[in-house]
Amino acid sequence: MVFRKLPGVSASGMGLRLSQKFVFLLFLSGLVTLCFGALFFLPDSVRLKRIFLSKTETQPVTVGSGSENDAREQVKRPKDQGMTPAKGETSSIKLKSTSRKPSVSREGTEERLPGGKAQEDMTLSKSRTESAPSSEHGVDLDTFSYNKFRRCLLKAPLGRDNGTPNDPMTNERREKVKEMMKFAWDNYKRYAWGKNELRPLTRNGHIGNMFGGLRGASIIDSLDTLYIMGLTEEYNDAKEWVKTGLDLNSNGEASLFEVNIRYVGGLLSAYYLTGEEIFKSKVLELGEKLLPAFNTPTGIPRGVINLGSSGTSWSWGWASAGSSILAEFGTLHLEFVHLSELSANPIYTEKVMNIRKLLNKIEKPHGLYPNFLSPVSGNWVQHHVSIGGLGDSFYEYLIKSYLMSDKADEDAKRMYYSALDAIEANLVQKSQGGLTYMAEWRGGILDHKMGHLACFSGGMIGIGADDGPQEKRQHYLDLAAEITHTCHESYTRSGTKLGPEAFRFDSGAEATATRLSDRYYILRPEVIESYMYMWRVTHDPKYREWGWEAVQALEQHCRVESGFSGIRDVYTTNVSHDNMQQSFFLSETLKYLYLLFSEDDLLPLEDWVFNTEAHPLPVVRRSCQQSHVTQTGSQ
């Protein structure tokens, strides 16, 4: 069919005139303008956004991974819902947008949270009238009330009069120790500020490779010592450096153990003593970086961790068959419980409770804990047992976990006393000269050697004496005193009156080093640590006397023009210095000496437990626990 054009009828075929067409077009364009105007000028509406924006743009930003083992995924606030605000607090829970990019797993796949719910948990922010900073790291910092924590202490942390002793001679000795601290600090500040340790002979700083690019180990390790000694100006300088100089965005390989005991421990105790928010925010930021170390088939962390975004971890090259070290993975409990307490995030406690569970279950040769364990199979790798290096602080943290839990952590208590029974049955020896010592055990064969590191055990057994079976109390006190006596002998039998790194009880030796390579002293604290605990437990004046002998020896042989240095051979008084002022000298050796000459109410043991780097951490009282995370697992 063909359409023909009719006269007077337009091509559109509607039969409209030009003027009519014009009016119609005008009407149409008015209508279109009105519709679009409505879209753009009406109030912002989620519905309209849903229509006009693409689906992907409305998805929440994903943080973390779906892998169960990925620790970073689990850094979230699981218990926010249902929290009722405390009196005086407004609880406006709101969604906070996060600028964090999706993290990428080592395999290179994007990591996602399992569901939107968890995502919401991670971004919940709770605003309160008590203003507190919010972390960029997915945890809120305002769940912990410092005031509430202080009210829960039984005594004032610094005592009635900062622990000033009544008798003038003890006070003079204490002042001497304070002077030593100031001298060590001033020289560090002058020649090595911001580095990890001072090299006092060459007057420069040492960085080393233990802390994965983190700096200022001596500053972090000194914070609490300066504070309790009343070295206010020095403490303020240290605090200022933490604010402006402590950079946690390092990408290096660090020892999980060393970063934990020095940095996490140092920042935690600085926070608990002072209430300064900067310490809390730094320690929570750092704590999160340590979590990927636990991503192993068993959850037993490896020794070395990359602090950068990869979170990769390795076993030490020297540790046989890729094993993890008992004293390393067994020395996290105290700090991690406090990380959970401060962040209200159970993840940290869960990580260390998982280690505990494995160690509790695994078969132990003669009830002993060997030093090497595979993080893959969860089996022992070698049967070497020692209360010194490689094993030491694992035992220390068992009894201290019990004490820090306000004596609630029954598993820790049971494991500690049965380990001690096994140690007594297999390792504790009496020398021909009548000295009690702890030998090392190599698959049933005894090595009659005791390391300086093992000398902490006198103090450990001393503080645990009261909580064992009543009938063994005196026995434990005697054992603690005997071991401390032996360690003191290792000092008195040297020319410098300082003890060697390891001493032996064979081939005619009695508490002396027989190998040249064991003769050095690097300003270690363990012997003095035991004096301090034994003083607190018994008040036998000999411990203060022994401490004073050590002060004099340190002054005579380790003090140099620009700081304190370790020595290469304790048996020669013509000393050769190793040119290193270790950070633990400031954190532990001088702190324990200061406490030894102070009244017991300076950091009373009812309220405080010292981590293995001598950083005081408060007892978490059940009635006062703030995180709702039990120390024996999450609720």
Site string for ligand DMJ, 482-521 (x = CB under 6 A): ----------------------------------------
Across 323-358, b (16+ Cβ under 10 Å) vs e yields bbbbbbbbbbbbbbbbbbbbbbbbbbbbbbbbbbeb
Is the Cβ–Cβ distance between 356 and 366 less than 8 Å? no
Contacting ligand DMJ within 525-564 (CB under 6 A):
525
CA–CA dist 324, 618 (Å, integer): 28
Q: How far is the CB of 615 from ligand DMJ (least distance, A)?
A: 10
Q: Which of 216, 356, 613, 616 binds ligand DMJ (CB under 6 A)?
A: 613
Do residues 121 and 86 make contact, with C-beta atoms less than 8 angstroms apart? no
Q: Residues 70 to 89: which contact ligand DMJ by CB under 6 A? A: none
Q: Which residue is nearest to ligand DMJ (CB)?
A: 612
CB 503 within 8 A of CB 490: yes
Site string for ligand DMJ, 366-405 (x = CB under 6 A): ---------------------------x------------
CB of 456 to ligand DMJ, least distance (A): 7
Please, which of residues 588-607 interact with ligand DMJ by CB under 6 A?
588
Q: What is the DSSP string of 273-331?
A: HH--HHHHHHHHHHHHHHGGGG-SSSSPPPSEEE-STT--EE--TTSGGGPEEHHHHTS
* Residue 335 beta carbon to ligand DMJ: minimum distance, rounded to whole angstroms: 12
Q: How far is the CB of 257 from ligand DMJ (least distance, A)?
A: 8
Q: Are 119 and 63 in contact (CB under 8 A)?
A: yes
Binding of ligand DMJ by 615 (CB under 6 A): no
Q: CA 361, 364, 367, 372: dihedral to nearest 10 degrees?
A: -110
Could you tell me the smallest distance in angstroms from the CB atom of residue 612 to ligand DMJ? 4
Closer CB to ligand DMJ, 288 or 392, in the complex: 392
CB of 110 to ligand DMJ, least distance (A): 39
> Between 157 and 391, whose beta carbon lies closer to ligand DMJ?
391
Catalytic, 501? Answer yes
State which residue, 519 or 524, has the beta carbon closest to ligand DMJ.
524
Residue 461, CB half-sphere, CA atoms under 13 Å: how many? 28
| Site map (CB under 6 A) of ligand DMJ, residues 247-286, x = contact | --------------x-------------------------
- Rounded Cα distance between 359 and 425, Å, is 20
Q: How far is CA 234 from the centre of its chain?
A: 23
> Shortest Cβ distance from residue 584 to ligand DMJ (Å)?
4
Q: Which of 356, 524, 557, 615 binds ligand DMJ (CB under 6 A)?
A: 524
- Closest CB to ligand DMJ among residues 263, 372: 263
If residue 226 lies in a helix (H) or strand (E), which one and from where to where?
Answer: helix 217-228
> Dihedral angle at the C-alpha atoms of 216, 146, 150, 604, nearest 10 degrees?
-20
Q: Closest approach of Cβ 70 to ligand DMJ, in Å?
A: 29
Give whichever of 212 and 525 is closer to ligand DMJ, judged by the CB atom: 525
Closest separation in Å from C-beta 451 to ligand DMJ: 10
Q: Taking the complex as a whole, how short is the minimal distance between the CB of residue 474 and ligand DMJ, in angstroms? A: 28
Taking the least distance from each CB to ligand DMJ, the nearer of 578 and 613 is 613
Return the DSSP state at 211.
Answer: B
Nearer to ligand DMJ, 270 or 527 (CB): 527
Number of residues near ligand DMJ (by CB under 6 A): 9
Distance of CA 276 to the CA centre of its chain: 17
- Sign, Cα dihedral of 565, 568, 570, 574: negative
- Please report whether residue 612 would count as binding ligand DMJ according to CB under 6 A: yes
The least distance separating ligand DMJ from the CB of residue 549, rounded to whole angstroms, comes to 19
Nearer to ligand DMJ among residue 401 and residue 612 (C-beta): 612
Residue 184's closest CA among 564, 534, 584?
564
Which listed residue (584, 592, 594, 597) binds ligand DMJ by CB under 6 A? 584
Q: How long, in residues, is the chain? A: 635
- Nearest of 305, 295, 200, 195 to residue 257 by alpha carbon: 305
Type of residue found at 497: K
Nearer to ligand DMJ, 393 or 436 (CB): 393
Q: Which lies closer to ligand DMJ via its Cβ, residue 74 or residue 393?
A: 393
Name the strand (E) or helix (H) holding 92.
strand 92-95
Q: And the tokens for 378?
A: 């969860």
d(CA 545, CA 551): 10
Contact map string, positions 441 to 480, toward ligand DMJ, x by CB under 6 A = ------------x---------------------------
Q: Of 411, 314, 305, 426, which is closest to residue 357 (Cα–Cα)?
A: 411
Tokens standing for 522? Answer: 């690097």
Cα distances (angstroms) measured from residue 312 to each of 104, 107, 333, 394, 480? 12, 11, 21, 24, 41
d(C-alpha 192, C-alpha 207), whole Å: 10
Q: Which residue type is seen at 267?
A: L
Cα gap 392→454, rounded to integer Å: 6
Task: Give, in order, the Cα–Cα distances in Å from 96 to each of 76, 79, 100.
Answer: 13, 17, 12
Please report how close the Cβ of residue 393 comes to ligand DMJ at its closest, in angstroms: 4
Q: Which of 111, 197, 501, 613 is catalytic?
A: 501
Q: Say if residues 77 and 342 touch (Cβ distance below 8 Å).
A: no
* Strands (DSSP E) found in 349-499: 372-373, 380-382, 384-385, 428-430, 436-438, 440-442, 445-447, 449-451
Nearer to ligand DMJ, 295 or 612 (CB): 612
Q: Which is nearer to ligand DMJ, 546 or 610 (CB)?
A: 610
Which residues are tagged catalytic? Answer: 501
Catalog residues that contact ligand DMJ under the rule CB under 6 A: 261, 393, 453, 524-525, 584, 588, 612-613
